[in-house]
Chains A and B, each alone.
Chain A
Amino acid sequence: MKFLKNPAISFSALMILGIVLDFGFNAYIQLTVLFVLVNCMMAMSLNLVNGYTGQFSLGHAGFMAIGAYFSAYASLNFPVLPGVLSILSFTIYAFIGGGLAALFGYIVGLPSLRLKGDYLAIVTLGFGEIIRVALQNLNFLGGARGISGIPSLPEIRLGGFVLDRFFVSYSFAIFWCLLCFFVIWRLMKSSHGRSFLSVREDEIAAEAMGINTTKTKVRAFVLSSFFAGVAGAMFAHFTNYISPSSFTFLMSVNAIIMVVLGGMGSMSGSVCAALFITILPEALRSLKDFTGVDLRMVIYSLSLILVMLLRPQGMFGEEEITDLWRRYVKRSS
């Protein structure tokens, strides 16, 4: 497991997986894989704020919307570089989209992070909804009808090779997911990461020990919003259509469910939960066809309640899958 700690090796391994997915599976599964990656990023970024820093943010969808709308608008109104360089365009749009989301994270975070837990949750919820309502009323961004015809990442010809659209999108998503993962992971192994944890554990003690808790919380919030924005940009290019109703409170709740299910404070938990949550509705689709009634959301909300009542620490609690591996698997061998 240790060798995966090297980003280059992880990237290569996942690229190989991508090739397998490209040739071995149909378009439906491929799209699901892309959604899993978007959800991974949503979960990992929210975990930074909710899990590591202990601040309850209910407005993640809002930041995603900002990134999505920027990237969609930019890719439709500014020329995308040709050929291989198109990747560069999309990367820049995603980066700026994330940056814009981070800016909003700063504006929202700075005054709100002074507030107690419940209040912060409400402010962030309000923010998410305000973004949605604002987008509904901004006609140059499509208003309630949204933006359609958003370009996907194109296929790329490299010498004799043709990398098809799925593989290009997949690589793009993998790149950003790995970046998000390693940034957060390395951060958590540094003193800055430890200061996030101290805010979660005991704010008053942290302040007494010299931690600027407001600055720390804002930092986590801004970084989290950046990656949410990038996730939004990816979402826009994978689905080719976005509207204000794509970014409702329910999407924020979705992100919360993933973080809680995975374990608040576990990166691998967020990833596993993202996988589970993305696949579950598809798996339950057969149930819907069988019973004729869409019970998926009912099961969804019921599982949220049950997790909180029966296993509030989620799958991995504050540990990583490697810690559990070490404890349970290695011990028996």
Chain B
Amino acid sequence: MSNALLEVKNLTMQFGGLKAVDGLSFKVNKGELAGLIGPNGAGKTTVFNMLTGVYLPTMGSVHLEGLVLNGKKPFQISHLGLTRTFQNIRLFKGLSVIENVLIAGHQHVTYGLFNSFFLGPKFRAEENELFNSARELLKLFDLETKENEKAGSLPYGEQRKLEIVRALMTKPKVILLDEPAAGMNHSETHSLMDLIARIRTEFNLTVLLIEHDMKLVMGICENIIVLDHGCKIEEGNPGKIQNSKKVIEAYLGVDEDAAENGRAH
């Protein structure tokens, strides 16, 4: 009985003549904080899109707690406990901060049209609960004072945080973070690292993240999967990855002076 919460077997994505992802297999264990790295164009976001149902894999399968995910619609996958953030922030920019979070809580709402029209007790109770949960989450991320501001007007770093808050509102088991530190400076990245480690523990989550910032990846990831041109070229803990010749070559090319640690590309 494996501890794998999320498992991917022989995953392949073919766009016409291009194989974006080729025969990828890996596991993420329950409670693990894993990283998916690789040079630009390696196919990382494509993998996320296949995990979340945006793309239908050409071949292979995705499993969550043993349940097959590929072929399911994105909203169904969300209901099963897999959620994500986006590389290019996809907040509901015209809506307020709290509305963004409340919408993610919709899947847990049980009242119908009727109740909402007559303002019945079920409606009031569930709405209260929704608002309270949303506010608690926002507070955790220091966003509670901006509740009614338009999401699009937030500074970049806070927009990224809001995306994570929104994803957490779906009460997920697994959260996929697509380049959460993109555009952040050193101190922001540092806070983010703490935040991710914290939410993993506090919310009992399993985390898989895509990142280019090696300090973050090596700092918090327990298992790292390295992709290049759609194939897995290495997998292991930070130490193993940092010392892997294959990984260094993938990022920097062959016959170059390789930097031992620190930023890659």
A residues sitting closer than 8 Å to B (CB atoms) are 182-183, 186-187, 189-195, 197-198, 201-202, 204-213, 318
User: Is the CB of B54 closer than 8 A to any CB of chain A?
Assistant: yes
- Report 25 cross-chain contacts, Cβ distance below 8 Å, ordered by A residue: A186-B116, A186-B117, A187-B117, A189-B116, A190-B111, A190-B127, A191-B105, A191-B106, A192-B109, A192-B116, A194-B99, A195-B103, A197-B95, A197-B103, A198-B95, A201-B92, A202-B90, A202-B92, A205-B86, A208-B78, A210-B78, A210-B106, A210-B170, A212-B73, A213-B75
With the chains together, A201 CA to B117 CA distance in Å?
24
With the chains together, A201 CA to B89 CA distance in Å?
13
Question: Does B92 contact A208, Cβ atoms closer than 8 Å?
Answer: no
Contacts of A204 in B (CB 8 A): 54, 74, 90
Question: Does B83 contact A208, Cβ atoms closer than 8 Å?
Answer: yes
Question: Does B117 contact A208, Cβ atoms closer than 8 Å?
Answer: no
B residues sitting closer than 8 Å to A (CB atoms) are 52-54, 73-75, 78-79, 83-84, 86, 90-95, 99, 102-107, 109, 111, 113, 116-117, 119, 123, 126-127, 130, 166-167, 169-170
Question: Does A191 contact B102, Cβ atoms closer than 8 Å?
Answer: yes
Say which residue of A186, A198, A201, A207 sits within 8 Å of B119 (CB atoms). Answer: A186
Question: Does A209 contact B94, Cβ atoms closer than 8 Å?
Answer: no
Given contacts A192-B113, A194-B95, A202-B92, 16 further A-B contacts (CB under 8 A): A182-B117, A183-B117, A187-B113, A194-B99, A197-B92, A201-B93, A204-B90, A207-B73, A207-B74, A208-B86, A208-B90, A209-B107, A209-B166, A210-B79, A210-B106, A210-B170
With the chains together, A193 CA to B127 CA distance in Å?
12
Say which residue of B52, B95, B113, B130 sits within 8 Å of A208 (CB atoms). Answer: B52
User: Who on chain A is nearest to B126 by CB?
Assistant: A191
Give the shortest distance, in Å, between A314 (CB) and chain B (any CB): 15
Question: Does B74 contact A208, Cβ atoms closer than 8 Å?
Answer: yes
Contacts of B90 in A (CB 8 A): 202, 204-205, 208
Contacts of B86 in A (CB 8 A): 205, 208
Known interface pairs A186-B119, A190-B123, A198-B103; A205-B79 also in contact (CB < 8 Å): no
Contacts of B113 in A (CB 8 A): 187, 192
Contacts of A195 in B (CB 8 A): 103, 106
User: Who on chain A is nearest to B89 by CB?
Assistant: A205
Give the shortest distance, in Å, between A91 (CB) and chain B (any CB): 18
Give the shortest distance, in Å, between A62 (CB) and chain B (any CB): 24
Question: Which of B54, B78, B127, B130 counts the most chain A CB atoms within 10 A?
Answer: B78
Question: Which of A205, A209, A211 counts the most chain B CB atoms within 10 A?
Answer: A209
Question: Does A190 contact B116, Cβ atoms closer than 8 Å?
Answer: yes
With the chains together, A197 CA to B106 CA distance in Å?
12
With the chains together, A318 CA to B99 CA distance in Å?
15
Question: Does A191 contact B99, Cβ atoms closer than 8 Å?
Answer: no
Say which residue of A190, A198, A213 sits within 8 Å of B92 (CB atoms). Answer: A198
Give the shortest distance, in Å, between A23 (CB) and chain B (any CB): 34
Question: What 7 A-B pairs come out closest when comparing CB atoms?
Answer: A210-B78, A190-B116, A210-B107, A201-B92, A205-B90, A207-B74, A209-B104
